[in-house]
Amino acid sequence: MNGFLPITMEEMKERGWEQADFVYVIGDAYVDHSSFGPAIISRVLESRGYKVAIISQPDWTNEESIATFGLPRLGFLVSAGNMDSMVNHYTVNKKRRSFDAYTPGGVAGKRPDYATVVYCNLIRKKYKGVPIIIGGIEASLRRMAHYDYWSDRLKHSVLVDSGANLLIYGMGELPIVEIADALDSGIAIEDITYVSGTVYKAKDVTEVLESRQGIMLPDFEELQRDRLAYARSFYVQYQNTDFVTGRPLIEKYGEKRYIVQNPPTRPLTTQEMDDVYELPYQNTYHPSYEALGGVSAIQEIKFSLTSNRGCFGGCSFCALTFHQGRIVQARSHESLIREAKRMTKEPDFKGYIHDVGGPTANFRRPACDKQLTHGVCTNKQCLYPTPCKNLVTDHSDYIALLRKLRALEGVKKVFIRSGIRFDFLLAGSNDSFLTELCKYHVSGQLRVAPEHVSDHVLDLMGKPRNEVYKEFCRRFEKVNKKLGMDQYVVPYLISSHPGSDLKDAIALAESIRDMGYMPEQVQDFYPTPSTISTCMYYTGVDPRTMKPVRITSSPHEKAMQRALIQYRKPENYQLVKEALLREGRVDLIGYDRKKCLIPPRQEKEEKKDKQKNGQRRNATQDQQKNRQKGNKAGTKVVKNKSQQSKQERAKHNRKDR
């Protein structure tokens, strides 16, 4: 018997189980590693004596695919996987991705769109009254009414559409144990309405409003009618993401149907974090996937260490505030060193620890001492627009941890890849951490995320002003010069973020020109559920101030903004030229490479480029038409099958009579 949890009936029988307590349906391949949410939840339940079986990527067209283990004793758990299924499936341009890192062999299309809803409906079809508990990033960020970019409309809470009984949002170790113990003691799933970090359905919310000081949000019909009502509702939710200050939130659907969000669960203690990350994970994918090519998502994280969770950075385009919260939780040095020592014994370990971090690598403690007792501030951020005077900026704990890891036998180098918050680093009293970083933890290039150069765009992003980034670059260069090292800062940049126009995109291109660096990858702003930036994109206002925000929704303008960041690419020439002419910046078209972005071109060359671009557009349109035809054909097949099955049932009924 291997150490993995069972994914087949045979493996369950090998363990001597007659019935699983929980069957966990997941949209990813089964990877038993602490970077995968389903692995953590299933191992936490196992540590409390519960039997958990895994159904990975079931065939959603066949209800028997979720009957692998029969009816579980306590209920089904459902997660779409480590990513929202729509982000997993589609690029920002809504084109289908051809590769899925969370599926054996990278095969795309092994989970449905909106996987949480589809899996739950499949379970409900097969087992009518069984308790269903949903969680993971998709459920967490869609827990209340939300804007869905892919359908371009406001959608219900996923709890409404899925038919599930309970939703766990955020990090689920504490809620899942409390729910499991309640079910095991005989409490009905409908009566489990008191667990922090959960969302449930109700017909009467009088007690929540009167005794628990619940907040009634606008009902779904009002949110559909009025986008400004949605912006206000969203910001109320944003202000109630803390376990100390958060209040119950209520959203009404129809006459007498409510969704109630309980306040968030408390952060884990250091000991609890250590316990969770030292459960008996197998630290790889299930061996049955080897013949299919393995699961590539394991590669980057197999030799990485998760040292913290939570983030007080407060970037507008990030959903961490809604999911992990703003209070940073950290593992002990001892726990991390034990995991690192185990890594060094792996046969494929080459001496390199790829990362020691989390959402932000250099956050190792709460932003200030009052957060664990008074909660986070609801009316201001820790780092934006400038670091709070109460912010603790001491990096000594992180420095000590990195030194211990570097000293381990078998470790050649320890990298930091999960991101350094440079404004937090600059807020420190000296360059001790920056010196250690440059000397030991950078391999030629340090990736940081200034995101843009226009201050008004940075304000909307919740990022530090451009001058702060420039100061960091100066300090980085100074420290490297002192160390005699030749290393560079490589910036992450976002195009088409709310507030950004072509003037801002041109300013960004000029900044790139002055850096002498051409980004290999550019991230178009991607409106994903439960971020402030997505709320701006949908409503046209900043929910924090209710002031109007310029939105770039035209695919052509988005393409121009993106092309400007990579203005040297020949295929981007026409888009860059069009943008420069539109904004009257002909001064940036010329042969002076220190000043200009693109050179003039002969008419013949431009004609060829236009033809190529036209061919590309036609090819894309043809692909879209073919997909639409395929979808229609698929619908017809389903209808025909449905009609055929009705005819067959009618025949059987006649025979029975």
Interval 425-481: pLDDT, tens: 999 888 999 999 999 999 889 999 999 999 999 999 999 999 999 999 999 999 999
| Dihedral sign computed on CA atoms, order 21, 25, 31, 36 | negative
Q: Looking at the predicted structure, is the pLDDT value of residue 79 above 90? A: yes
Amino acid at 146: H
Separation between Cα atoms, residue 512 and residue 520, nearest integer Å: 12
User: What's the pTM value of the predicted model, to 2 decimals?
Assistant: 0.90
Cα 30 to Cα 58, 296, 458: the distances in Å are 12, 12, 39
Rounded CA Rg of the chain? 26
The letter for the amino acid at 523 is: Q
Residue 615 pLDDT: 60
Residues carrying CATH 3.40.50.280, the chain: 9-198
Which H or E run contains 24? strand 22-26
Which CATH code for domain 466-617? 3.30.750
Average pLDDT estimate for 333-350: 97
CA distances in angstroms from 357 to 404, 499, 557, listed in the order given? 15, 31, 36
pLDDT given at position 127: 96
Q: What is the pLDDT of residue 631?
A: 45
Residue 99 three-state SS: coil
Tell me which of 1.10.260.40, 3.40.640.10, 3.40.50.280, 3.30.43.10 is the CATH number of domain 9-198: 3.40.50.280
CATH no. for 303-443: 3.30.750.210
Counting residues of the chain whose pLDDT is more than 70, the rounded percentage is 91
Q: Is residue 111 classed as helix, strand or coil in its secondary structure? A: coil
pLDDT higher than threshold 60 for residue 510: yes
pLDDT at residue 621 is higher than 70: no
31, 162 contact by CB (below 8 A): no
Residue with token string 């995968």? 36
CA distances to 215, 348, 476 from 286, in Å? 45, 17, 43
Per-residue pLDDT, 2: 67
Interval 388-402: pLDDT, tens:
999 999 999 999 999
Outline which parts of the chain fall under CATH 3.30.750.210: 303-443
Cis peptide before 385 (omega within 30 of 0): yes
CB-hemisphere CA count at 13 Å for 219? Answer: 8
At residue 59, the 3 state secondary structure works out as coil
d(CA 577, CA 564) in angstroms, rounded, equals: 9
